[in-house]
Amino acid sequence: MKHTARLLLCTLALLSLTACAFVPKIGTGERRFVSNAYSADLVYIEGNIKAYRYAGSYYYFRDRRLAQVTPNLIPADQVDASN
């Protein structure tokens, strides 16, 4: 029984570490972001810009690529176009 309990605790610890490890980088595809950021909420869609809220930040996708991350929500026309 001790072996089973230890295995269960190790599995839970590993799952908790991997669940928090996803940090998307500029250029990440929207599909990858959505599949890895389970608690992401879609905030708005304006033209080719989509904004999601995830882990206390706002993630902006232009043409399905992560273009900008901000701590506060900004309008679509202010999303950085240089990426």
Residue-wise pLDDT for 61-73, tens only, equals 999 999 999 999 9
Above 70 in pLDDT, residue 15?
A: no
Determine the pLDDT at residue 14. 57
Range of 34's domain?
Answer: 23-77
Q: Which residue has the tokens 């304006």?
A: 46
Residue 7 lies in a domain: no
Please give the tally of structural domains in the chain: 1
Q: Is 54 domain-assigned?
A: yes
User: Is residue 39 included in any domain, yes or no?
Assistant: yes
Euclidean distance between CA atoms 35 and 40, whole angstroms: 9
pLDDT at 34 over 90: yes
DSSP state of 59: E
User: Which tens digit of pLDDT belongs to each residue from 37-83?
Assistant: 988 999 999 999 999 999 999 999 999 999 999 999 999 999 987 65
Please state, in angstroms and rounded to a whole number, the distance separating the CA atoms of residues 49 and 66. 10
pLDDT greater than 90 at residue 8 = no
